[in-house]
Structure 1
Amino acid sequence: MSEASEWLIYRGAGEPHDGIEALPDPPPWRDFDGGPLVDPGPGTDSASTRRLGSFNHLAEMHRPSAEELEIVNAALYLRRPLLVTGSPGAGKSTLAHSVAYELGLGRVLRWPVVSRSTLGDGLYRYDAIARLQDVQIAAGSRGVPGARAETPGGIGSYIRLGPLGTALLPTAKPRVLLVDELDKSDIDLPNDLLNVLEEGEFGIPELERLAEREPEVEVLTDDGARVTVRDGRVRCRAFPFVILTSNGERDFPAPLLRRCIRLELGQPDHKRLATVVRAHLGEEAARAGEDLINRFLERSRTELLAADQLLNAIYLTHNAAPPTRDRLADLLIQRLDRPR
C-alpha cells in the first residue's frame, strides 16, 4: 500500500480484512454513547453473494477510482451518510455490499424506498391489531367476556425494528445500511430522515409510555434476532455506514445534502464492465463476451443502459450461434430512455 493510501480503511480490494479495527475515534460532534452493546448481527448473506458475484475471488467487484475510495473513506471517518447518485446499473447498491464484505460488517440492512415509504417504516413497526386480537383470544379462552388479559409475549412480541432502526442499535462495529432509491420517496421523507441521521437515536412511543413499569422490553430486529430496548429508546454506539442511493431524478433539500458526503458514479468503463462480468460469470464468459462489452460501451455513449442488461445478454447468449446471439443481445439490451 502506498504512503498516500495508508489512511484508507476501505480499499476496494475485494478481499476481507480487519481494517475497520484501525478506524480512528469519531469527531466529537459524531460521537455516540448508546449501550449496552448488542450482538453485531449475522454475517454476509446470499444477497451480498448475488451482488458481488459467485466468482468475486477472481476479480475486484467494485474497482473504485482513487476519488471514490477517498469519498467512501471520508464517510467512514466522519460517520456521515454517503449519498450516491448515478444511472441505473452504475454500482450504487453494490457499493454497500462491497464495503460490508471487505470490512467484515455482516449482513447489509436494506431499505427499498417507494413513494409510500415513511420514516416509521424504516424505524419500526408496531402491530397493534395483532396484539388486540391475541388479547381478545386470551380473554375468551379464560371464559371471562371483556376481562383484561395480557398475551404471554408482552408488547415486545408485536414490535419489529426496521432496517434503519436495526442499524441504530448500539453495536461495537458499524452496521451497513442501504437506503435504496431515496429519490422515489414522497417529498417529506428526506426531511424526516434528518433528525434521526443527525442524532443517531429514536424513541418508540409505545415503549416509552411503559418505561416506568417495563424499563426493558425485548423486540425483534430486521435480522430476526431479539434485542432488549431500554426505556423505549434506541441509540447507536458506532454510527452505521449509511448509503443513500439516487438515480438523480430529483433534488434533495439542502439540510440533507449538508449532512451527507456526496459521491457521483459515472458510467462504467471497459475495465469495470469486464470485472463485473468476470465476477458474476467467470473468466471464460468475460472473454467470450468481449464483443458484447464493446457494443454495450459504444451504445452507452448515446443511450441509457444498465450493466445488468449486459450480464443477462452474455449469460443467455454464451452458447448461441452468431446470428441468434446478436439478435438475443439486442432484445435484452434495450435503451432505458426510449421515448414512449
Structure 2
Amino acid sequence: MSKKSRRIVGAVILGVIVGLVATACGGGSSSDGAEVKWAFSLPTSWDPVTSRTGNDINTISLAYASLTRLDAEGNVEPSLAESWKYNGDGTAVTFTLRDGLTFSDGTALDAQAVKAFFDRGKTQDDSFLRDQLAGVAEVSADSATDVTLHLTDADYQIPYLVAGRTGAIASPTAAADPQKLSVWPVGAGPFTITDFVAEDHAYFEKNPNYWDADNIHIDHFELSVAPDPATLVAGVQSGSIDFATLPALQSKEAEAAGLDVTVKPSLAANDVSINLNKAPFDNPKVVEAFRYAFDRQAFVDVITNGLGSTTSQPFPDGYLAFNPEIEKLWNYNPDKASRL
C-alpha cells in the first residue's frame, strides 16, 4: 500500500491581509447612503449548509446573521440569540432568540426555523456542516424563541461554533429548494441580495429588518470577484473598487500609488507540502530533518515582503485553537537536520 502525501505541519503562515482603501473615496465613508464596492471572492455556495469553506463566512455574512457573533477581541456575544444558557453538566445549551426576527423572504425566524436549519445541516446529503454538528444529538424547539441543542458530550464551545457559518440560519421556506438557495441567499443578515451573476458579482441592499440595522451605515454593497492582482491597484485608483485584498508583494506598489494600505493579522495559514510517496521523503528521518532544515522565516519574508509570520501549526497566534507549545517544535536548526 502506498503512503499518502502528508503536509509539513504549518510550515508557513501568511499572517497578513493587505487591504486597499482609496483615499477620500465616497463609497468608503461610514455615513448613511454610502455605497461600497469590494473585490474579493464569491462563496462556494450561498447556502450555509452547502458552503464548502470556512472562508465563505466573509461573504455569506452579508446576507446571513448567525446565532452569535465574535467581537473584535474574539469573544462571543449575542446576535440572533440574545442569550444562551447551559444545563448543569454542559450537555445541552438553550439559545433564546430575539423577538420578532424575520428572514428576508418574510418567513419568521423562530425556534422552529433554527431547528429546521440544524436538522438540515445534520441530514442533508450534500451538507458540509455534518462534521461541525456531529456532537449535536438532537435539536428541540422549546418555545417560539427558545431552541436547545442537546449534545452527545459536554461542550462549552458551542456558542463559538454557531458564530460562524454553522450558525448562519437560512430560511426554511427558501431551503425547500436547496438548488435555488445555493445561488440566492435568504437569511436575516445586514443585507439582502438584489443581483447575482455566478463567477462575477453579487449586489446587495441594506436590510432594514436586520436586528442591528442601526449600526449598518452602508445602503448598497457590491461584491465582485477580485481581478488579476496586477490590476487591483489601478482599480482602486480609478474608483471601480473601494477596497480589496492585495498580495503582500504588491503592498509597496500600492503605497507608492498614494493609496491607504492597511495590514491586519489573518486567520489564513499557508503551508509547504511534501509527497511521502517519492524518495527521499519516503524516509521518515529525511522528513524530520527537513522540518529543521527549512527556514520558515526566510521563506515567509520573501513571499510577503516581511509582513507575514511563521508557525508550526494551521492556526495563528491569538486563534482559539492555537497551541503555544507546538511553536517550540522544529525550530530552524540546520546542524540538527544534518545529524538526523
**TM-score bin (small chain):** under 0.3
Structure with the bigger RCO (C-alpha within 8 Å, sep 6+) is 2
